[in-house]
Amino acid sequence: MNSLRIYNTLARDKQSFVPLRDGEVRMYVCGMTVYDYCHIGHARVMVVFDIVQRWLRTLGYEVTYVRNVTDIDDKIIRRALENNESIKALTKRFTDAMHEDADALGVARPDLEPRATDFIPQMLGMIDMLEANGYAYQGKDGDVNYAVRKFAGYGKLSGKSIEDLRAGERVAANEAKEDPLDFVLWKQSKAGEPEDTGWDSKWGRGRPGWHIECSAMGCTLLGDRFDIHGGGQDLQFPHHENEIAQSEAATGQQFVNYWMHNGYVQIDNEKMSKSLGNFFTIREVLEKFDAEVVRFFIARAHYRSPLNYSDVHIDDARGALTRLYTALKDVEPDTQPLDWNEAHAARFQSAMNDDFNTPVAVSVLFDLASEVNRTRDTALARQLKQLAGVLGLLGREPRAFLQQAAGTGDAGIAPAEIETLIAARVAAKQAKNYAEADRIRAQLLEAGVALEDKPGGSTEWRRV
């Protein structure tokens, strides 16, 4: 079953996946900096790598999935000061909010979720190794910096050469550095900063740079070399490039075998970013749309492609997911295990083994739904439900999905009122007042509720 190929950003090609340890996968994904609510770009990272870890487990691997929490950072310090709030209180509040958002989207918790502040000794140990190996130095301002030009492989992930990175293009000039391209490993504490933003070290009191956090947590929890490192495309440079430089200079061996990067989320074909002000928090999106619809919207695009967010696209995803649930509404899946030898399952497997090609996998679900509608076959219904379950979809009772409101902020017409109107329509039909019956149907449709008259005289409803 395992012929998995992964697009490795480092190789710029799809490669057959061969784990470092037989039957075991160690994967690290860069998590959130918890100073604000997560946005739809974070949702994509969470869902994409949730699907990746689900498929790896489906293939039979023993997976250790690590996704960190960055809980010390310049943005965190600024926000805490603005709020007159402690760092710990701020980061706990937004970590809890992140968990709520992830749970709503059906994202499984990672096996390990390290917080940066719990790994300060390991970060200091790695910086000490880098200094001993000649890759780190303390600048005139007290910061400890990484000497980029001393690492021969710098740029191998992003494809950027040292010559491309001319001084001032990516980094601000800093006379305390030996080279403008050098990046900070340990930041000296500054006057006026809160007490809980610094730790003692041999270089003075300070805090870690962003890049060293992930290197130290990854190596500590997964070993100096592990299988997969993932994150958003925006992290490829400089964050992941700097992780490679630090880790390999410290340990003397290759850091990661396969690098995976999901594409940007775009708003009206423009990259979403806080600086442009064109971003939506997950909470804002879930006010309008069901969380499983949002997950499906993310899943039906290939993870490496841009994802264009709009209400129109989410509405389209809702209609598509409704078709899948409708196929299961009147056909109860049998209780047999998923049959991977069945034709649809074999195509699904082939798609997922081709660099997690969820668009093709989702197309298989629609083919199955069409077959279920045509044949009413309970075995095919089981294949549909269980294959969708691999992607974290179709886990609810179909009528529960079909009858719920669009999002948490849109309750719509209440179920009790719908049932009352349906009863009034039944009474009108019995009285042969068909005009009134039609009027009630039209009223409900206007309110976003479609009726389906079933054999035997019963009526079912769903939201549209």
Residues found in the chain? 464
**Token pair 């749309």 is at which residue?**
289
Q: Please, where are the H alpha helices in 252-356?
A: 282-288, 291-299, 311-329, 343-353
How much of the chain is in helix, strand and coil states, percent to nearest 5? 45, 15, 35
Q: Is 219 annotated as a binding residue?
A: no
30 is in an annotated binding site: yes
Cα atoms in the Cβ-side hemisphere of radius 13 Å centred on 139:
20
Helix (H, G, I), strand (E, B) or coil at 236: helix
Question: What are the tokens at 227?
Answer: 């299988």
H helices then E strands: how many in the chain? Answer: 15, 15
Closest by CA to 238, choosing from 309, 306, 180, is: 180
Concatenate the DSSP letters of all residues of 212-224 into one string: HHHHHHHHHHH-S
**Which of 5, 60, 453, 9 is closest to 237 using CA atoms?**
9
**How far apart (Å, rounded) are the C-alpha atoms in residues 65 and 59?**
15
The answer to whether 114 touches 108, Cβ cutoff 8 Å, is no
Tokens describing residue 192: 């006026």
d(CA 30, CA 372): 40
Q: Compute CA distances 121 → 115, 212, 412, 444, whole Å.
A: 13, 12, 53, 63
Q: Are 289 and 332 in contact (CB under 8 A)?
A: no
**Residues β-bridged to residue 27:** 65, 228
**274 labelled as ligand-binding?**
yes
User: Could you tell me which residues are annotated as the binding site for ATP?
Assistant: 274
User: Could you tell me which residues are annotated as the binding site for Zn(2+)?
Assistant: 30, 214, 239, 243
User: Could you tell me which residues are annotated as the binding site?
Assistant: 30, 214, 239, 243, 274
